[in-house]
Amino acid sequence: MTFPGLDRIEALARNLDSWQRDLAGRMAELEQSSAEGTSDSGLVRVTAAADGTIVSTDVNARAMRLDSYTLAEEFTTAAKRAQEAAAARVREMVGEVMADAPGGSSPTGDSGTSHGRGAAGGDQVPDDRPDWY
In the prediction, which pLDDT does 98 show?
78
Q: Which helix (H) or strand (E) holds 16?
A: helix 6-32
| pLDDT interval class at 1 (50, 70, 90) | low
In the prediction, which pLDDT does 47 show?
97
Which distant-in-sequence residues (6+ apart) come within 8 Å of 108 by Cβ?
95
Which distant-in-sequence residues (6+ apart) come within 8 Å of 115 by Cβ?
127, 129, 133
The DSSP 8-state label assigned to residue 99 in this structure reads H
Contact 4/132 with Cβ under 8 angstroms? yes
pLDDT tens digit string along 2-58? 676 788 887 777 778 777 888 888 888 888 899 999 999 999 999 999 999 999 999
Domains and CATH numbers, the chain: 34-104 (3.30.1310)
In the prediction, which pLDDT does 102 show?
61
pLDDT tens digit string along 83-97? 999 999 988 888 887
Higher pLDDT among residues 131 and 66, named by residue:
66
